[in-house]
Structure 1
Amino acid sequence: MKERTAFNDNWLYKPSFDAADPFGAAETEGYVQVELPHTNKILPYNCFDEAECQFISCYKKIFRVKREWEDKTLLLEFEGVMLACEVWCNGIPVGGHEGGFTPFQVDLTKAVKPGEENILIVKVDSTERKDIPPFGNVVDYLTYGGIYREAWLTAADPVHLSRLFLDCPEPLEEEKTLRCSCEITARQACKAMVKVTLYSPQGDRVGEKTEEVALQQGKGKYLVTLSDLKGIELWEPDTPALYTAEAEVAVSKERDICRERFGFRLACFTTEGFFLNGRKMKLIGLNRHQSWPYAGYAMPRRIQRKDARILKEELGCNMVRTSHYPQSRHFLDACDELGLLVMEEIPGWQHIGDEAWKERSLKELEDMIIRDYNRPSIVLWGVRINESQDDHNFYERTNALAHSMDSGRQTGGTRYIQRSELLEDVYTYNDFTHDGGKAVFRPQPDTTGLEYPVPLLVTESNGHMYPTKRFDQEQRLTEHTLRHLRVINESLGREDLAGGISWCAFDYHTHGCFGSGDKICYHGVMDMFRNPKYAAYAYSSQKDPKRQIVMEPVTAASRGEKDGGGMVPFYVMTNCDFVRVYKNGKQVADFYPQKEEFPHLAHPPVMIVHLMEADVLSVFSEEDRLQFQEYLGKRMKEGTLTGLTQEDIAYLAKMAQKYGLDMRGLVTTVIKSAGGWGDASNNLVLEGFLDGRPVCRREIGEGKYAAGIVVKADDAVLFADGDTYDATRITVEAIDNMGNRMPFIQECVEVTLKGPGRLIGPARFPLIGGSSSFWVRTVGETGSLRVLIEGMTGKAECTLEIMAGGSEKGE
């Protein structure tokens, strides 16, 4: 049976390469010890030279293999090396790869000396080579460099299983059939017994089949079919049932086993929308880049998986697009487990190269489908270069290849040009129509140029149309939030749309010709540290309150923050039925969701349009009170309340005369309803109500001051003995005396670690918009890791337990 071992520890690295390196001895001078995943350069958060990570480097590993492996096939697999590499073992060239996003193997069998010391050299070219996708022209994202994903060494018998390809042709039938295509490698032709067993999510055996097959020399595929499978659970977003298929090949006394997870489900895009297992489902999601501050692409399993949890559990999305390349298997594993649907696409950005470039792109498409064939989360293959022009011959080939390899999934091709040629199954389109006006998405005929309907999915919106930082002025943050609400509302309301995947989940590094001049595109609803902007709550507030109650006021709660002054209007992102507001201890009013403006949202935002205390209007009749509140709300939305017109004066004079009120006092009351100007602090309490009872409460207002810093780790336990190092995010936040983040505080903090851990990135950094995050990683030792943070306004700390037991646990 084959043995597969992690090959991630005890690498040596130097940021240069010499022609003599592959043939050198085991010297370590000039190298530093590293572990995989590894980035070739720790970058600053922003304002760096993007060329800093574009160079050729050298990785060396000195290793031994067991003497008993002498007759085995030794395969070394790299999950991702950016961007190209060449590999030598004991001075012998053993292979290489071009392309940074898909896995590849090199065969060490003839070069390795079992029982002796071996020297492996990997030359890594991280320059932006024009002959390798996504490069050839400018690209709106950085790819960084290094051996940034894990590596594995496999010792295989003369007959061994490489992988399984699993299909269920009729997943909605009561009795199901599973076709298991077993990829088997044999050194010579022979007969073998192949047994396939299917296990339920609970580990119970639900089907089994054994067949004798005639193996050909070399690599081949052999089909084993399990029929009459009963009681099979379908893979659904809320109940993502994952089955395990285990294949065993036996020749004489030799056996080998391969396992793959699989979900039974039927996904289909039609002119009427997207259907999963026969039920129509609106797709609402975000795009994701796999990048982080400092470490670039090089993050381990737990951190990759966390992004899927953020998208599904925190933001409430049901779809993600892997823009613009195949992403970490750990991220996709979590999508399978959480029920998060995926559109996965080939590497690229607008540019199509020459014929050799196209051949590499086709190879990357093939490798992507091979790697991720069995994933139930993937419902669409992206077979065009993102936002490229039409290329009939090239895209005929990409579609034909995808369909020949996988007849069970549809294809899409992301474009931003209207009336693009449709060769794919789904017209996937980046629609940036919305600029804050009434138009949100184009009518389908204007988009496709076709006279008949086709399956249509919006794959980007917003993003560069309105880049927003966490520390921007309130009105920009508000508009950013509303734009995301509008595209969600439009996606849900349009019958001819399968849904919308907006741009994007997280801010990301880019080249100097994009972004905000500091090498960051601030297009995310979260920043690069995965800390939310207000727009994140546009998504999370749409969740069922049974899952989580959300109530987030989109305001600095200060009358000097808005243009023209005043505290209102402001929005509350919430899934509550209504919000009750108190000002300085006195009740103002109950405010309800904006259903008219957002008719298709499950939970429209609540707008707080005035701060007039309820008892002030008690002298008014019911009809006049409602009319007066409507008047206040209209003027607040127009932003004209603090600059009264002659029409306003006439209306207020009429109301004052009718109820015997002092005209000047009524005008003052109206001004105060916006927060006033020159008055004492306004402090507000917001109560969210569900089913007639208060379920959440927030205090905000002008009486705030810095009250210290708080710290929170995503995980309390890490593991020191997994396949590679473990890591977690820790977030620091400056809070006021009301418990709210202080977005404008100019605070710098310093981190000190005491115990078995290491920082990823700098130990001293500023808070951005009142908060920031950092990552700590394990170093192969167990024990308690104290994380101490000190800033101007206070100190905080948290403790992590570093345990043995493997990185697969504790998530």
Structure 2
Amino acid sequence: MPRTSLPMLHNWKYAPSFDEAYLARNYDDSAWKTVTIPHANIETPYNYFDEKMFQFVSCYRATISPNQQDANTRIFLDFEGVMTAAEVYLNGEFVGSHRGGYTPFRVELTGRVAFGQPNVAVVKVDSREREDIPPFGGSIDYLTFGGIYREVALTLVDPIYIENVFVRQADVLSDEKRVEYSLFLRNTTNVGQNVRALVTIRDEQQQPIIQAEEHFTLTDGSAAQRVDFALSGLRNIKLWELDAPALYTFDVKLLSESGAEDTYSTRFGFRTATFTPQGFLLNGKPLKLRGLNRHQTFPYVGQAMPARAQRKDADILKDELHLNLARTSHYPQSRHFLDRCDEIGLLVLEEIPGWQHIGDRAWQQVACENVREMVTRDWNHPSIILWGVRINESPDNHDFYVETNRIAHELDPTRQTGGIRCIPNSELLEDVYTMNDFVHNGGGIALCDQQVVTGLDHVVPYLVTEFNGHMYPTKRFDQEERLVEHALRHARVQNRAAEDPAICGGIGWCAFDYNTHYNFGAGDRICYHGVMDMFRLPKMAAQFYRSQGSPAQDVVLEPATFWTRGERSIGGVIPLVVFTNCDMLEFFYGEKLVGKYLPAKDRFPGLEHPPIIIEIPFDELGVWGLTWEHGRFVGYLNGKAVIERQFVSDPVPTKIVAVADDAALQADGIDVTRVVYTAVDQAGNLTPFLHEFLKLSLTGPGEIIGPKEIPVIGGAVAVWVKAGTQAGTITLSAAGTRFTANDVRIEIIQ
């Protein structure tokens, strides 16, 4: 029979405790809560909570009822992520376990499952910070949360089946390209089998561009067997580029002489990605990498967000912040995030779980297994250009890191490795020296010279993987001067990275604020290190990154000010930084044209779009006690006015605007979308210090994730809405003490 994969996302029974009695097939779990997957073991507050509240052992139970006609198949439960350790039982019998919450695992039910009748799968989930499992054993600057927080599926295959496929591209920059591929197969029969593999490569329209048939023999036994083949002479192939990420589909159908059949499909792209001492090359062309680190943390549910939210993060990084690279700090992240990076042309540095601490030999063995699981899960993603095979910011450990590099190179010889460190003169075992450089403190140098860091007498492939972060934590509702300086620190470092041909690029810390332990961050269990907050709402630093995009795609004109005389120390708004990709702007104070201003190329020569900095005498906009006037900014491109921003002198909130990311959701009981509430003044600008309180109400087939009464933080806040299982229309309403937001309607479709 062909492969069958059945998502197991509904009708799980959940208890926030564990007892051996729960393992029994006939245990009465009718009083347990019914949940969907992804699932967080407990809902957490936005901030100020005890991080031990999710560190407990819980239990999930689900019924599996395979058909009698499938009795000759192999049957598996596939888990994409369970935090932190899992033990799996079927009908009271132990069938498998896994340590580590960030990588997938499979347990086989063959021989234990009863076909044609209900079976009960039980998952014991240990979400404690166990010292035997990376990233734990020391202190870590993030929270891992708990639960079955990624998808689960029931997979049925014939006794001869495909376990994995690795697709590699060769001669990518030639007119005729070649695909090399490896099939990882299992023959669980007790005899050798003659097998045919029917291979098809399809283009973006799913039209076949080449087909092949391979014949070979599999020996008997259950051990995985690898067979390698190649397809040559591929012409008229589109490259996977950042602005046109062409994706191809590799399909393989396996047929054996005994009648066994299996199919497997994966996407891939034709591209080269090379870190050199002279910079990074994508498809042979120089590309300066500009990125941010991403934690996969969301308010209230931790990491347990489904596909749409994961994909949206990739869209934000590429389309709103105009990045070309994301680092999955500090662990492998959702396949949905990576799939979207493939689709939109966002490069990825993916790394193993960890933070500074290296445990004992058994701990290191788990980390090595994490390398294997990460690489073999994700090796076909064209967006991934570098494997991170070192525990983030850990000390040197020669034998351990020789092994992690060996594993990555042996499994995937097509990609280079990096090892994120924060110590100078570190032993370079990887292909790329990846360094967290926090030297910039607002003045002086922005980045260290690479040879000062490496201690080597020659230049090597070099990438800055973190900067800023804890050096200058900044809340979205902070005082204007701090928000401006936060943005400028990102600009200075990205400028320095862009100037130096020996630096492949810079990855700032970080994209989004995230929950962390009490001994990090602001004490409220949040690290305010992001250029956006946890709701993915922008700080001024986000506007710097946004301004680095092409004006053909997104014209940006963002004065870094709240436009008030008394917000800054001493007063006024000068110097006034404007993040823009315009080539000139006019600045009006009241009705007076103050001047025309150009990008500060002298201060930021490495940036494609330097900020414009308006520096005029302090009293030119009046002095303390005089009337404050409105401000107006007009941006020009090639001599033509293309964008305008206005600021009123006497801002008062006029309304709260509600906008949903999506107009429709799937009626699957899992799909989510974000709704953003922004309090704006007469000119439509954010009122950054408004403290309003919203009471949310929802009608229709869906629910609100998190509390139903929320504060408007710094003039804005967001909520996520989850679809129900029935078609219909959700109406989300929000009423405050001073304003009622516009209703948001979201269609729930079957």
Which position in structure 1 is the counterpart of 2:518? Answer: 512
Count the aligned residue pairs: 744
Amino acid at match of 1:736: D
Single out whichever of 444-453 and 690-699 deviates more from structure 2: 690-699
Query: Contact 2:659 / 2:676 at 8 angstroms: preserved in 1?
Result: yes
Q: Name which of 649, 656, 672 aligns with 1:709.
A: 656
Secondary structure of 2:740's match?
A: strand
Q: Name which of 352, 355, 358 aligns with 1:352.
A: 358
Amino acid at match of 2:4: E
What's the CA shift for 1:737? 1.0
Q: Does 1:201 align with 2:204?
A: yes
Q: Name which of 264, 267, 274 aligns with 1:268.
A: 274
The higher radius of gyration belongs to: 1
Which position in structure 2 is the counterpart of 1:646? Answer: none
Q: Name which of 194, 214, 219 aligns with 1:216.
A: 219
Which position in structure 1 is the counterpart of 2:241? Answer: 236
Q: Does 1:694 align with 2:637?
A: no
Which position in structure 2 is the counterpart of 1:753? Answer: 698
- Consecutive unaligned residues in structure 1, runs of 5 or more: 611-631, 633-640, 642-670, 806-811
CA distance in 2 between partners of 1:235 and 1:705 (Å):
48
Which position in structure 2 is the counterpart of 1:226? Answer: 231
Q: Does 1:676 align with 2:623?
A: yes
Secondary structure of 1:312's match?
A: helix
CA distance in 2 between partners of 1:675 and 1:127 (Å):
59
CA distance in 2 between partners of 1:255 and 1:168 (Å):
27
Which position in structure 2 is the counterpart of 1:249? Answer: 254
Which position in structure 2 is the counterpart of 1:453? Answer: 459
CA distance in 2 between partners of 1:587 and 1:367 (Å):
61
Which position in structure 2 is the counterpart of 1:39? Answer: 40
What's the CA shift for 1:24? 4.9
Which position in structure 2 is the counterpart of 1:90? Answer: 91
Q: Name which of 400, 419, 423 aligns with 1:417.
A: 423
Secondary structure of 1:333's match?
A: helix
Which position in structure 1 is the counterpart of 2:665? Answer: 718
CA distance in 2 between partners of 1:112 and 1:774 (Å):
41
CA distance in 2 between partners of 1:804 and 1:734 (Å):
30
Query: Contact 1:784 / 1:799 at 8 angstroms: preserved in 2?
Result: no
- Consecutive unaligned residues in structure 2, runs of 5 or more: none
Alignment of 1:589-668 (within 5 A): 589-610=595-616, 632=617, 641=618
Which position in structure 2 is the counterpart of 1:500? Answer: 506
Which position in structure 1 is the counterpart of 2:385? Answer: 379
Moved over 4 A (4+): none
Secondary structure of 1:525's match?
A: coil
Q: Name which of 721, 736, 744 aligns with 1:791.
A: 736
Which position in structure 1 is the counterpart of 2:329? Answer: 323
What's the CA shift for 1:679? 1.5
Secondary structure of 1:794's match?
A: coil
- TM-score (norm. length: structure 1): 0.90
Amino acid at match of 1:549: V
Secondary structure of 1:579's match?
A: strand
Q: Does 1:367 align with 2:373?
A: yes
Query: Contact 1:575 / 1:603 at 8 angstroms: preserved in 2?
Result: yes
Amino acid at match of 1:134: P
Which position in structure 2 is the counterpart of 1:653? Answer: none
Amino acid at match of 2:728: G
Single out whichever of 234-243 and 203-212 deviates more from structure 2: 203-212
Which position in structure 2 is the counterpart of 1:406? Answer: 412
Amino acid at match of 1:676: V
CA distance in 2 between partners of 1:205 and 1:527 (Å):
44
What's the CA shift for 1:804? 3.5
Identity rate of aligned residues, in percent?
48
What's the CA shift for 1:69? 1.4
What's the CA shift for 1:343? 0.6
Q: Does 1:743 align with 2:688?
A: yes
Which position in structure 2 is the counterpart of 1:137? Answer: 138
What's the CA shift for 1:26? 4.4
Which position in structure 2 is the counterpart of 1:622? Answer: none
What's the CA shift for 1:185? 1.8
Query: Contact 1:707 / 1:793 at 8 angstroms: preserved in 2?
Result: no
Single out whichever of 551-560 and 201-210 deviates more from structure 2: 201-210
Alignment of 1:514-529 (within 5 A): 514-529=520-535
What's the CA shift for 1:29? 4.3
Secondary structure of 2:20's match?
A: coil
Query: Contact 1:681 / 1:701 at 8 angstroms: preserved in 2?
Result: no
Query: Contact 2:550 / 2:581 at 8 angstroms: preserved in 1?
Result: yes
Secondary structure of 2:83's match?
A: coil
Q: Name which of 543, 546, 552 aligns with 1:537.
A: 543
Secondary structure of 2:314's match?
A: helix
Which position in structure 2 is the counterpart of 1:627? Answer: none
CA distance in 1 between partners of 2:575 and 2:738 (Å):
31
Alignment of 1:307-322 (within 5 A): 307-322=313-328
CA distance in 1 between partners of 2:496 and 2:270 (Å):
31
Which position in structure 2 is the counterpart of 1:781? Answer: 726
Which position in structure 2 is the counterpart of 1:12? Answer: 13
Which position in structure 2 is the counterpart of 1:654? Answer: none
Which position in structure 2 is the counterpart of 1:730? Answer: 675
Amino acid at match of 2:61: K
Query: Contact 1:26 / 1:62 at 8 angstroms: preserved in 2?
Result: no
What's the CA shift for 1:30? 4.2
Secondary structure of 2:103's match?
A: coil
Which position in structure 2 is the counterpart of 1:615? Answer: none
